[in-house]
Structure 1
Amino acid sequence: MIHHHPGDELLLAHAAGTLQAGHALVVGAHAEGCAHCRARLCTFEALGGAMLETLEPAHLAPEALARTMARIDGTAPRRTAAAPAPAPAATAAPGGWPDLPAGTPWPSSLAGCVVSRWRWLGPGMRWSRVTLPHDPAANVFLLRIGAGKCLATHTHSNSELTQVLYGRFDDGRALFGPGDFDEADGSIHHQPVVQAGSECICLASVQGKVVFDNFLARWLGAAVGM
C-alpha cells in the first residue's frame, strides 16, 4: 500500500507541464503505480481544459503559425514524464541498464533515458546516473543502498523528489516503502536509514544540491553530482 504521495501543488504543476523535467519524471514514475494520484492528475487536467475554454480569443501575431511550425520542425520529439510507454522487464535491463531485483519493474517514465551501470558510492551503496534525452542537464539518479546502511545526514539547497522502487527507508519523519513518494527541501534535515532485511532502491531528482553535514560526504556528493 502506498502511504506517501505528491502534494496537490506538485500534481497541479505536473498537469500544467510546468515542472522541471527531472521532477516531472519522478512524479510521473509515482503516478504510474498510484491510482489516487492518476485520478488527481486527471482532475487537474480537466480543470485546466475548462479554464482554457473560458479565455477570451486572442489575435495571433503575423507569422505566428509559421514560426511555431518552424520551431516544431527544428525540435527533437520530447517524451513527457507522464507519457504512457511499456515498462521494460525488470529481469532484462534494456540497453545496458543496471539490474533491479527480480519482480521490480522499471518506471515507464524512464523510456528513452540513458541509465548508467551501478557505480560505487560507499560501503554497501551504489548509484546510477539517469540522463534525460530532452534535458541532459537534469540531475536525476538512482540510489541502491544496502540493508541497515544510511545516507549521511543532509539537507537541500533547493528541492529533492524521491520515488521508492524497492525496499524501505526511515528518515526520522516517516517510513517510506515501495511506491512511496517523498519531497524534501531546505526545511528538512534528515538521515535516511534503510531498514533491516532488504536493500532499498530509489529514483531521485535534485534541483540545487544535496547539502551533507559531513565533509567526506560532501566531497563524494560533489563527485557524483549530487
Structure 2
Amino acid sequence: MDAPEIHHHPSDELLLSYAAVGLPIGARLVVATHLELCAACRQRVAALRALGGVLLDEQPPAPLREDALARALERIARIEPQPPVPTLGERAPRQPSAPPPLPLGAVWPRALADCSATRWRWLGPGMRWSRVNVPDAPEANVFLLRIGAGKYLPRHTHRGTELTQILYGHFHDGRALFGPGDFDLADADVHHQPVVQDGGECICLASVDGRLAFDGFIARWLGGLVGM
C-alpha cells in the first residue's frame, strides 16, 4: 500500500514534547500513531532527540554532594525486589487488543497494540464511536470516531486540547481538508464543524484533554455521555 500524502503535521513544539516524553499518555498515543505514517515527522523527532543530546553534553558538569554515592546506594537498598521476567517460552500474555471492525484499507495503529477498544457504539445518525482503553491509565480520554460520508460533528470549540489523527477517509472543518495520515490540534481558539466528504466514511483517533464545547444542547448532552 502506498504511503498517504500528508499535509498536516504536529508542531515542532509538540514533537519536542513527545521526544522528551513530556506528553500525557493519550496525546502521546495520537502523536505516535502519526509517526507510524509520517517519515518526515519521524526524522524530525530523531533530529530533536539528537539536538537534545548535544545540548545536554554542552552543559557544565554539576557538582555532587560528598555523600551522593552513599545516598544512591541507600535508595537502591530500599527498592522492593521485582518478580523475574519470564523467558520467551513462558512470557506472560500481553493485554489483548480488541479493535472494532475497520473497513478495508484502515489499519489498527501499532501504537495501540497494548490497548483494547469497545465495539462501535451509536453516537448519532451515521456516527459511531469506540472507547480506547489504555492500560494503567484509566484517565486517558482516547477514542475512535467513525462518521459516514456527508455526515458531520456538531459545531464546537474546546475546553482544553483535542488531538486528532485521521486513519481513513477525509473531512473538511472549514479551515482545511484532512485526509489519511493528517494530524490536527484544536484548542479554545478553534471553532469548527468537521464534515466528512462524499465518497466514503472517515475514521479518526482522538485524544481530548478537557471537553468539547458543543453549540447545541442535544450535542452537549450526547458529548457528556461519551466523555467528549
TM range (shorter): 0.7 to 0.9
Q: CA–CA distance in 2 between the matches of 1:168 and 1:70?
A: 54
Deviation at 1:192, TM superposition (A): 0.2
User: What is aligned with 1:47?
Assistant: 51
Q: CA–CA distance in 2 between the matches of 1:225 and 1:63?
A: 45
User: What is aligned with 1:3?
Assistant: 7
Give secondary structure in 1 for the equivalent of 2:139: strand
1:108 maps to 2:116: no
Amino acid paired to 2:157: T
Residues 1:65 and 1:204: Cα distance change in structure 2 (over 3 Å): farther
Residues 1:16 and 1:58: Cα distance change in structure 2 (over 3 Å): farther
Structure 1 unaligned regions, length at least 5:
78-93
User: Of residues 112, 118, 121 in structure 1, which corresponds to 2:120?
Assistant: 118
User: Of residues 158, 161, 164 in structure 2, which corresponds to 1:162?
Assistant: 164
Deviation at 1:69, TM superposition (A): 8.4
Q: CA–CA distance in 2 between the matches of 1:100 and 1:71?
A: 44
Identical-residue share of aligned pairs (%): 60
Structure 2 unaligned regions, length at least 5:
86-95
Residues 1:66 and 1:73: Cα distance change in structure 2 (over 3 Å): farther
Deviation at 1:221, TM superposition (A): 0.5
Asked whether the equivalents of residues 99 and 108 of structure 2 are also in contact (C-alpha less than 8 Å), the reply is: no
Residues 1:10 and 1:66: Cα distance change in structure 2 (over 3 Å): farther
Aligned residue pairs total 208
Amino acid paired to 2:116: V
Q: CA–CA distance in 1 between the matches of 2:109 and 2:121?
A: 20
User: Of residues 44, 55, 64 in structure 2, which corresponds to 1:59?
Assistant: 64
- Provide Cα deviations, 1:190-220, integer angstroms capped at 9, x if missing partner: 0000001100000000001111001011010
Residues 1:216 and 1:40: Cα distance change in structure 2 (over 3 Å): same
Runs ≥4 residues deviating over 3 A = 60-74
Q: CA–CA distance in 1 between the matches of 2:159 and 2:77?
A: 39
Give secondary structure in 1 for the equivalent of 2:138: strand
Give secondary structure in 2 for the equivalent of 1:198: coil
Structure of larger gyration radius: 2
Amino acid paired to 1:167: G
TM-score by length of 1: 0.86
